[in-house]
Amino acid sequence: METLHELLVRRHSIRRYTDEAVSAEDVKTIMEAALLAPSSKSARPWQFVLVDDKADLARLSECKAAGARPIAACSLAVAVCASPAKSDMYLEDMAIAAAYMQLQATALGLGACWIQVRGRFAADGEDAENIVRDVLGIPDDMVVECIVTIGHPDENRRPVDTAKLLWEKVHVEKWHNPGDEAN
């Protein structure tokens, strides 16, 4: 059985998908992963909107000027939203849930990609969040952090080369600047 570390090394953003649908069982497992995500004070401020309607996916893929094309091709898109009124840590909580979904999808042999929505804009300048809220009927007071695209991979990506990890970003005991060890 694949270890968590092996999964992390294998995981990549997958942006190309076949037409095969994600099974109901896999959808349930992925959403269970989202609902298992930890949240500050266990407030669980998130809400998830699952979309497989092709016309809606196409509209969502236009929500920002660049970087949202995988939405049009995926079998399932999950909009990750939260109410700021439910927790002051809603951004962190949404991010963790989205990451859990991506990891669970990868573990199931599926591909997934995080598509940023909050803070992004369509080609005509419209706020991407407004577009997503409009397409999916999400209330105005909900923040839409991202859309996680999921599907059967139609691309192969090599596992991460762990020799290239940025160990210089890891500081032991105290902050070290580059070249410190030469002093």
Ligand X SMILES: Cc1cc2nc3c(=O)[nH]c(=O)nc-3n(C[C@H](O)[C@H](O)[C@H](O)COP(=O)(O)O)c2cc1C
Question: Would you tell me which residues interact with ligand X (CB under 6 A)?
Answer: 12-13, 15, 67, 70, 113-116
**Cβ distance to ligand X smaller for residue 15 or 152:** 15
CB of 177 to ligand X, least distance (A): 26
CB of 104 to ligand X, least distance (A): 15
Contact assessment for residue 37 and residue 97, using Cβ atoms and an 8 Å cutoff? yes
Helix axes 24-36, 90-107, angle to 10 degrees: 140
**Cβ distance to ligand X smaller for residue 113 or 142:** 113
Largest Cα span, the chain: 61
Q: Residue 172, Cβ neighbours under 10 Å: how many?
A: 6
CB of 176 to ligand X, least distance (A): 26
- CB-based burial, 45-68: b 16+ in 10 Å, e otherwise: bbbbbebeeeeebebbbbbbeeeb
CB of 111 to ligand X, least distance (A): 10
The CA-CA-CA angle for residues 88, 89, 91, to 5°, reads 115
CB of 70 to ligand X, least distance (A): 6
Structure-derived torsion over alpha carbons of residues 135, 137, 141, 144, reported in degrees to the nearest 10:
-40
**Cβ distance to ligand X smaller for residue 67 or 154:** 67
**Cβ distance to ligand X smaller for residue 32 or 155:** 155
**Cβ distance to ligand X smaller for residue 100 or 114:** 114
